[in-house]
Each structure stands twice: as C-alpha cells, then as structure tokens.
Structure 1
C-alpha cells in the first residue's frame, strides 16, 4: 500500500508538473505570438497574384521597377462611430477578402513588405485603397504608407473619399476630399512623381470624368520632354476593357464608351484623351483600376497608348511593371 501511495503521489506530481509546463508554454506563445491562434502568424497563408509587365521606352536611361496596386477596399472596423457607419462597415467588410478568406487589411501590409523586400523604385496606388474616408481607415492608411522605404503615388478612387449616403455629393467633396490631401501631395486632382528620366502622373477621374483642375498641369507636364506613365482610376475606352466590363458589370464602365451605353467623355476628358494619344505624346503607359479585372489593350488615337488595368487588390492581385530603355 505504501508503494501504491508513493506511485499515486508521483503521478500527481508529474501531472502538476506537466500542467505547469503547459501553462508556461501557453504564456510564452501568447507573449510571442508564435502559435496558431495568436499574433500575426495566426493569419492564413495566401497567394499573391502578380502580373508582370515590361515597357520599353526609346532613349530612356536606367531601369525602373514599379508595384501597381489598386482596389484593395480596406475597411477598418471602429466601434466608436455612428450606427450608420458601423452598419456600413459590417456589411462591406466581408465583401473584400481573397480566395483564402484573408481580409484586405491583412493583405495590404504584406504588399508593403513585398515592396520593401523587392526594393521597387515606387509604389503606385490606383484608388479605392480604402473603402471610405473614415477616421480609422485614414489612420491605418497613414501607418501603412509610413512603412514604405520608397516613394509612392496615390490617386483617388470613387470610394476613398465617399460614403454610400454621401456619394459624390458637394458636401462630401468639401468634407472628405481634403482628408486625402496629405497622401496626395496636397492635391487630390493631380500628382507627379519624378524618377530620374521617368515621370509618373496621377490624374483624378474618380467621378467618371477627368478632374478639370488636373488638365492644365497635365498639359504642362507632357511638355517636359521625358517619358510619362499616367495613372487614373477609371479606365479609358479600349475594345478589350469595354467587352470585359460589359461581361463583368453588365455595363461598359469605361470613359469614352458612350456610344456603347457607357460613359460619354465631357470636354475635359476628351482633351485628356486627345493629349494622351497625340502623335507627339510622351505617354508610354496608362494604368487604371476600378473594374476589378485585369486587362491589357491600347487606347487608340494618333498614337496608340497601352493601357494596363489592374485586377482587384483585395483578391490578392498586383502588377509589377518593369520600365527599360530600348537596346541600340
């Protein structure tokens, strides 16, 4: 019996020891975030879909690599908002996840990390990066962009500065557009990034028309005698983008497709297209988003200009663009 009692005590001791070690291990895991269910490593693995584009520019000195990301539609939930905003967040948050179920807010930091590790020359953000101009979204955006090791260019989409209940209203424009200015060089209509012998221009067409305030500066920039890449949110008319938009959205939501039931360009948009496709235009590439599918075609004119439309970032998509000079 004594022997049995000793064994029982020993068993109890081992049980207590194992329990103690388990508690310590769990506490260590919680502290370091290194186990499934805790910390950043609990996030699901997901696959980046990176389209590769190469553009050769005659006479360009040097090479440039650009990461183009559009339509991530990040929604940061915030409990300290109105009931209307909270309802909007709850309804839209689950819309913007990738095939692996990872929400946009968790994907985006990995794109920042990718850009830094890849040492790209610039990050181009093609609009609808955030799904509304909420305080939580803007604070999150600030923190993310501050983590970049290289310059970025950010243009408006139709969601970055709007709410569903104030969509494209004058009040919304006065109240919310200025909130994006710190991320857009103080000007939401037009932005410029110089990369050595290459110029990248951002144009606001988030209202389905080119912002009139951008046109004069755009015209001036094209006279700079350097090759230009243009970034807009809403695509311009190409045969491929038109047909895909009709299939995806049952509407030709591209600027210049008025004859097909889509968007008739106003005077400013017509001038923009004319300048972009003029015979002596320095524009080598137009980047766009908005329609959530990938496309590559040319905007027809005196000069046919390639247009690359990026697929939705919230679905894990981005475009890596290589700009090189032509070989002699």
Structure 2
C-alpha cells in the first residue's frame, strides 16, 4: 500500500496519508512520563528507596501526564498509546494511580512497558525483576504485557514490550501473524529501532547506542546498560520491519531516548520518537486517506 509521511512543523505532530484508509484516524502517543506516586503501601523501606533514587520533580511529572491525558479527551482522539517509562517502579500506588488516570480516558488505550515501569526500589535491574513484577501490569495491558493488538478505524496498532532490547520468539511469531492480516500497521515500543540517521544524536546524548538491534556497542557499554547481544528473534524482528514483506508497515512509535526524532526506514515507513512526557512531550498522530 502507498503511504506518505508529510512534513510537520512540530515534533508534536505526525501526519500520515495511507492508501485505502476510509476515514481519518487520530491517536495520541505519550512516553517517558516518569511519574512517581509511591507511598507507604509497599513499606517504609521501599518508599525511602524510591525517592532517594528518583531524580524528577514528582509534582511536575504528575501534572504533565494528567494534562496530556486531558488533552487526549479534548481532542476526542480515537486512541491513546503509552510506550513505557510512564511510572518509575512497579509499586502499588504507582500502578493504582496510573490505572485511575487511564480510566478517565474517553478513547481506548494501549500501554506497553519500558525498562523503568517494571523496576522496583531496592531490587537489581534485570530479567528476574521484570518477571517478578510483570503480573502487576495485567490489568493495564489486557493480561498480555508482552504484545497487544487493537484495530482502530481500519488500522492495526501493535504494542510490543522490547524494554530489555530484545524481542522473544513468541513476540516475533505473533507480529508476523498480525502483519499477515494486511491492515495498515503502526507498531508501538519503548526502545527505538537502530536507524543510522538516529545514531549520531543518540550517541551525543547518551554516549551509547541505546537502540534495539544497534551496532556500535562495546563490551563496557553493554555491561553498564545491561544489554545482551541480539537474540536471533530480535534480529529477525528487525529484518522483518526493514523488509516489510506485506508492504503494510506504516511506522514505529517509541521513546526511551527522551528527545524527538523522525527517521525513514524500510519500504515507506518512518520511526517517530516522541519527546519525553516529563519534559512536556507527546505526539498527535493524524492518519488521513490517500
């Protein structure tokens, strides 16, 4: 299918024309809000650890997230997608607060996790911590935090958890089945794909290539960021998006690096990274018939 990515004058807008789309579709994408509403529910030790580790302004992050979700209602968007690091830690009140706020939305939403959502104060970052706290996110992710799909207005939205820089074999097989349906498909993940045109700005900001399937890692950087070499399923997923075998990948929408960027890839897709929510970032995605 033919897809046109129009040049917008603001990083808070994406305007995409899609062949065969019958009616306009509007979405709001938010990422990296980094709110912290941890309270005494998890115990005094966890509360103390949470706020000694927290480097953001809790009032500011809460206010910005609430304002962005209210804006989604004001715009009457057709859907809202959150791509991780919305909360800092899987504490009881963080998840309760987020569930309450998402409950105010008038539109359906998808929420996929980032590396800070499932972390927990005082516990080491890593796969064991992720698996321990993963079940807490079931109510916010339809019971399947690893991969979710939603059809809106003739488009297919896929949300995948790549918060460890990897895609599992199960996620890969699921993605291939969803793409095979042939609908115009938008993918939402926390960590951006490696695209050469994005590398320079990422290295300038972070001094490490913190993208999925990235080239240029050295052993010490991998150790510091706890990024394992790409699994075969991660490589296959990356190649699938680049090759776009069904000619229906419209774009990838993500966060993690905290600044906005737009980069073409594959056949006719673009990757849109949104500015961090804690800095006031979001992106309105407008899908229009072509």
Classify the TM-score, shorter chain.
0.7 to 0.9
Tell me the equivalent position of 2:238. Answer: 273
Gaps of 5+ in 2: 1-9
Tell me the equivalent position of 2:206. Answer: 249
Do structure 1's residue 200 and structure 2's residue 135 form an aligned pair?
Answer: no
Where do residues 82-231 of structure 1 align in structure 2 (5 Å cutoff)? 82-93=43-54, 95-97=55-57, 102-163=59-120, 165-170=123-128, 172-231=129-188
Task: Answer 1 or 2: higher relative contact order, Cα 8 Å, separation at least 6.
Answer: 2
Where do residues 21-60 of structure 1 align in structure 2 (5 Å cutoff)? 51-60=12-21
Contact 1:184 1:191 in 2 (8 A): yes
Contact 1:275 1:281 in 2 (8 A): no
Do structure 1's residue 233 and structure 2's residue 190 form an aligned pair?
Answer: yes
Could you tell me how far 1:163 is from its partner in structure 2? 2.1
Contact 2:160 2:189 in 1 (8 A): yes
Structure 1 segments, 4+ long, off by >6 Å, are none
Contact 1:277 1:304 in 2 (8 A): no
* Worse overlay, 313-322 or 260-269: 260-269
Tell me the equivalent position of 1:31. Answer: none
**Aligned partners of 1:113, 1:179: CA distance in 2, in Å?**
25
Gaps of 5+ in 1: 1-48
Contact 1:96 1:315 in 2 (8 A): no
Greater Cα radius of gyration, structure 1 or 2: 1
* Worse overlay, 290-299 or 264-273: 264-273
Q: 1:162 to 1:110 in 2, by over 3 A?
A: same
What is the SS of the residue equivalent to 1:275?
Answer: helix
Could you tell me how far 1:86 is from its partner in structure 2? 1.9
Could you tell me how far 1:230 is from its partner in structure 2? 0.2
What is the SS of the residue equivalent to 1:186?
Answer: coil
> If the length of structure 2 is used for normalisation, what is the TM-score?
0.87
Aligned length: 271
Q: 1:61 to 1:209 in 2, by over 3 A?
A: same
> If the length of structure 1 is used for normalisation, what is the TM-score?
0.78
Could you tell me how far 1:249 is from its partner in structure 2? 0.8
Could you tell me how far 1:283 is from its partner in structure 2? 0.7
Which of 47, 71, 83 is 2:32 aligned to? 71
Contact 2:180 2:246 in 1 (8 A): no
Tell me the equivalent position of 1:313. Answer: 277
Q: RMSD between aligned alpha carbons?
A: 1.9
Q: 1:199 to 1:52 in 2, by over 3 A?
A: same
**Aligned partners of 1:179, 1:81: CA distance in 2, in Å?**
13
Q: 1:217 to 1:80 in 2, by over 3 A?
A: closer
**Aligned partners of 1:280, 1:146: CA distance in 2, in Å?**
35
